[in-house]
Structure 1
Amino acid sequence: MIPERFLEPLEFAANELKGLLRAENEEDARLVQKGLMLFRQGLVYQLRFEDDKVLATVQDVTPAKVELNLEFIHLSECSCPAEGFCRHQTAVFLQLLSKARSVSMWIEEWRKPIKEKQTAKNWGLQRAKDLLKSSGQLKTGYDGWVAGFEESFTELLEKQGEPRPYVLPELFHVYLRRMKAGAPVEQEWKLLYLLIGYVFSFKKLMALSKKYGHGEELIDRYYRHLYQSLMEDSVEIMNKLSVHSLPFAFDQYIEKLKDDSAGLITGSFGLDYERAHLYRLLWTHFFKKKEWREAEIQKLESFIKEESPILPSVAGYVHLHILERNDEQALSVLNVPNHLMTPYMLYWIDYFSANKDWNRMGPYAEAFIHKLRDYLKQSDDYYACMDFTRMAIKAISPYCLECSKMDLYEKALMETLPYSYSDYEYLLFEKGEFIKWADLQAFIGFDIESLGKDRIREISKMEPSILLPLYHQAITAHINMKNRDHYREAVRKMKKLRTLYNKLKRQEDWQLFLELLLEKTKRLRAFQEECKRGKLIDA
């Protein structure tokens, strides 16, 4: 029997696992199948409850010790070498579940999304065929195209009521196939048709997400990739169209697209960067008339003046001012202390670089660098910070090189520490700024042994005194670990430190350091023994 206190956490874990292990993922499907086999073959034994955890052993090729955490199922542990949730943890979970309810029913519920996806796809394909048959002659003109998109979207994604989030990708791909089937034959018109279709679809998907209350977490799990694909496909189309002069016949289509794209950045919705990026690209490449931009700025001003304006609206407002070369107005917004605008600024830095507009870029580059530290502080994701730092340094490099602003480049490296360590370390060493280089090592806290023998060798020749604080820091760190291996390592570094002091003809300083250190560590008998063994002091 399961203790009553475990019943509710078990139900919670059962639901969590449906999201953690995805039936449509082949690897997850195989994992659950293997766990099911281990469970059904009776290879789970010694099931017991300790505190708030469930412990068991699974007899596989070698026995695996499993510890299930029902409150946080993804934090469960297994003695096997597999990463993440493994077949042994699955087997123990199923064994435990079997004591409370039907395992077969849970498996059926877990597989339900993939069945519903296939059913939805088959239904969608049939409806798409029906739409093609019933549509007769393809609709023409902007309004005809949009009416066709609207009809297909409603029919395929909402005809059966609220679509399940996990079936949305299947239905949406059917919708896109139907949309593309209605494209004009002529290449340029086909590209314009697809661009209008992608922008329309992006907005319709936003409206659907809002209508059914899909939060960002749910969108991330099931269909964020749809928004990203629409944005990427739109960028590809824009790049193709912008290579040539557009026919005059496109003008009325582009104007209507401008009017219809207005809602991309003004609504309260997630996916801030994606919709702001799509908006900026449209206004950069297609909506070029001065009167359009001025009118759009007027519209956005009311949103900017709100107490907490949403970031896409702010980004759109700044972008239009940049396009109109109203740099004073754009910078007045960007220079307000708000680090959340930092990632949006990458686009403008790249925009100026692409146009080699170095004179205008300067104030924007400085504003960008000024925000970097605060922006990186707000994230706990080390790898995301590393990626952003790489993009930031790459973005400002052309300007700094072209305009001989290496002081600004160095400032950017300082603002993005520790993520820019390798670039900053290389810069300082190449410039021969060894004091700054040593300060950087002390700040980062790397062991001197990890700095590279070639680096240590060259500094020993050029400015050996710079290495003294690094050795002192390393020796202290090893002694503080308070175990025999680290004591030996400390003694080894102390010998190198003694050599440095001798080279600098500062034997008295070495002797004073040694006496103070021995006094400070007189109760660390093992360390004192290692010093004697290393002949730093008399036996």
Structure 2
Amino acid sequence: MSHIPEVYKELIEATAADVSKLLSPGYEPDAKLVQKGLLIYRQGLVTKVRYEDGSVTSTVQDVSPVFVQVELNFFQTSSCSCPADGICRHIVATFLYAFSQVGSVADWVEEWRTPLHEKKTAQQLGLMKAKDLMKGSGSIKPDYDHWVQTFQNSFQSIMNGQGTPKPYLIPELYQAYTRRLRASAPVEQEWKQLYLLIGNIFSFRQLLNLSQQSGHSSYDIERNYQQLFFSLIDETEVLINRLSVHALPFAFDEFIARLKDDVTDLLIDEVALEFERIQLYQLLWSSLFKKKHWREEELEKLANLGKINGSYALSIGFIHLNLLLKRDEKALAIITQHEADISPFLLIWLEDFKSQRDWKRMGPFVEAFIGYLRPYLLSLPNSYACFDFTRYATRVLQSYCSETNRIDLYEKILMQLLPYSYREYEQYLYIEKQYEKWSDLQAYIGYDMTSISTDKIKELQKEDPAVLLPLYHQSIQKNIDLKNRGNYRQAVRELKKLRTLYKKLKRQDEFEQFFDLLLERTKRLRAFHEECQRGKLIHA
């Protein structure tokens, strides 16, 4: 057993807490990972352990020996020489070995598994029969205050009944809460839909408050129960659509009026999930709270809060209400004061214009959006987000440009979104027969000739063969630079096609000059010259 430096004890204990949060016992791959790591540790296969520079290194004698480095300051960056991606069983085994020097591995594993036992206990609440849930409440008569009080009592008794809930328990507890909520709903179908709708809004707000009061971080929410908020928004939209099939009874007016007064808090509360809060607020004011004087009153309420310029959420709500009231100039004035972070909501408003086919209103907002495209794209965290945003943006904007015959604007948009708009821009240039620009785009992206379809190459050889010349030159050089036989052979194949093109263009002398210079420049690449001989480009 290696001696552990005193300074590393606290580091290892802190890492143990991090690992407990990072790996979930309820997630099967994580459970198997810890199980395999524990087996390796208990078999004594972790050897040559050293502590240095804030990390623990070891050799693990698995199927074949692997070298492991566990980073104590940031466990996620730990590495192993095995083929597995991310945290592997060897990293876990080394961590458990290090922890064994400061505490009981068995106790840590048991404590780590505790959430799974707690989840099973929480799930028991969800197995209660509907008739048991109804005891003491009965079917609730239509009364807004009574409904809200019932939601409150159920939420508190289930979600907080065992004290402050851990993040991983929220989904199971919430499932039990919704079963009670549904079991208490009115029997009449129309009233039931309204009851569930108001229950959804209440539940959304209460979950937000619970996450804040419990001190759950954004990471805790995202990992454990963010999906609940997405589901609530989706369910709310479905319920609104169901209610909208027929004219709403006059008796609903009081309930909807009370509800509209309660949702302003979605913009005011300084809690997590800002995008989801704004999204729900927009949905309700677009689809449910449709009376003009309601929207005007809400607009005045937001303005009186005096935070429009300092609060992102309030500002988005203010713009949205102005758009619903068709006060486009006011909305546009606020939009232009924002940074590029307004782009996701601006895109949603553009989608609304598109669905209404209101191209005239859409125009000024498209112009504003274009100015944000590049900065917003550069602010996104990874290429996946960039591609998703580009696909969504081009789909919405293409319709506008097509309907208004603004093809020039569409090209400008595609250029702003490069390189993520390559597919759309390449197709656009090809269809428009802008072959020279098409060729420049291929060169800019760096694609070789094998990435271009044979049909396009054949058509370009007929239509404008000269545009293929720089692409062949670039592709040939890339293959030569890779310095292996396979790429040399590909380069020779492309050289022969290039020669044919120059001949078709009656510029054969240019090819001969280029090829002579190429041979001189590559005279030390004997294998390439041999492939040129085999391809009968040169003679021995």
2:344 matched residue in structure 1:
343
| Secondary structure at 1:49 match in 2 | strand
* Aligned counterpart in structure 2 of residue 142 of structure 1, from 141, 144, 154: 144
2:59 matched residue in structure 1:
56
Distance 1:482 1:336, change over 3 A: farther
TM-score, with length taken from structure 2: 0.89
2:417 counterpart of 1:411: no
Could you list the runs of 5+ residues in structure 2 that have no partner in the other structure?
none
d(CA) in 2 for partners of 1:136 and 1:276?
A: 35
d(CA) in 2 for partners of 1:148 and 1:255?
A: 19
Moved more, 341-350 or 95-104: 95-104
d(CA) in 1 for partners of 2:535 and 2:306?
A: 69
Residue 288 of structure 1 and its aligned partner are, at CA, apart by 1.6
2:154 matched residue in structure 1:
152
1:333 matched residue in structure 2:
334
d(CA) in 1 for partners of 2:12 and 2:482?
A: 42
d(CA) in 2 for partners of 1:128 and 1:23?
A: 30
**C-alpha contact (below 8 Å) 1:303/1:309 kept by paired residues:** no
Moved more, 114-123 or 204-213: 114-123
Residue 532 of structure 1 and its aligned partner are, at CA, apart by 6.4
**C-alpha contact (below 8 Å) 1:127/1:156 kept by paired residues:** no
1:109 matched residue in structure 2:
111
Could you list the runs of 5+ residues in structure 1 that have no partner in the other structure?
none
Residue 121 of structure 1 and its aligned partner are, at CA, apart by 4.0
CA offset digits 1:125-181 (Å, max 9, x no partner): 779988743336635411110111112222222344322222222222222211112
TM-score, with length taken from structure 1: 0.89
| Secondary structure at 2:343 match in 1 | helix
2:163 matched residue in structure 1:
161
2:226 matched residue in structure 1:
224
1:225-240 correspondence to structure 2 within 5 Å: 225-240=227-242
| Secondary structure at 1:67 match in 2 | strand
Aligned-pair RMSD on alpha carbons?
3.0
| Secondary structure at 1:133 match in 2 | coil
Residue 39 of structure 1 and its aligned partner are, at CA, apart by 3.4
* Aligned counterpart in structure 1 of residue 266 of structure 2, from 264, 272, 278: 264
d(CA) in 1 for partners of 2:482 and 2:310?
A: 49
Give the letter for the 1:196 counterpart: I
2:89 counterpart of 1:87: yes
Residue 11 of structure 1 and its aligned partner are, at CA, apart by 3.1
Moved more, 211-220 or 81-90: 81-90
| Secondary structure at 1:68 match in 2 | strand
| Secondary structure at 2:506 match in 1 | coil
Residue 412 of structure 1 and its aligned partner are, at CA, apart by 2.8
**C-alpha contact (below 8 Å) 2:142/2:191 kept by paired residues:** no
**C-alpha contact (below 8 Å) 1:9/1:70 kept by paired residues:** no
Residue 184 of structure 1 and its aligned partner are, at CA, apart by 0.7
Residue 286 of structure 1 and its aligned partner are, at CA, apart by 1.7
Distance 1:487 1:7, change over 3 A: farther
Distance 1:337 1:167, change over 3 A: closer
d(CA) in 1 for partners of 2:522 and 2:357?
A: 61
Moved more, 407-416 or 107-116: 407-416
d(CA) in 2 for partners of 1:87 and 1:214?
A: 29
Residue 253 of structure 1 and its aligned partner are, at CA, apart by 0.6
Distance 1:529 1:128, change over 3 A: same
d(CA) in 1 for partners of 2:265 and 2:66?
A: 55
d(CA) in 2 for partners of 1:194 and 1:282?
A: 14
Give the letter for the 1:328 counterpart: E
Distance 1:399 1:304, change over 3 A: farther
Residue 455 of structure 1 and its aligned partner are, at CA, apart by 1.7
CA offset digits 1:277-317 (Å, max 9, x no partner): 1111111122122222112212223567555422x322211
d(CA) in 2 for partners of 1:326 and 1:526?
A: 71
Moved more, 169-178 or 143-152: 169-178
1:443-482 correspondence to structure 2 within 5 Å: 443-481=444-482
**C-alpha contact (below 8 Å) 1:2/1:100 kept by paired residues:** no
Distance 1:224 1:459, change over 3 A: same
- The total of aligned residue pairs comes to 535
Give the letter for the 2:60 counterpart: T
Give the letter for the 1:55 counterpart: S
Distance 1:517 1:11, change over 3 A: farther
d(CA) in 1 for partners of 2:480 and 2:377?
A: 33
d(CA) in 2 for partners of 1:198 and 1:431?
A: 50
Residue 491 of structure 1 and its aligned partner are, at CA, apart by 4.4
1:50-449 correspondence to structure 2 within 5 Å: 52-59=55-62, 62-63=63-64, 65-71=66-72, 72-78=74-80, 81-122=83-124, 132-135=134-137, 138=140, 140-301=142-303, 308-310=310-312, 312-336=313-337, 338-449=339-450
* Aligned counterpart in structure 2 of residue 17 of structure 1, from 16, 19, 25: 19
1:498 matched residue in structure 2:
499
d(CA) in 2 for partners of 1:137 and 1:536?
A: 89
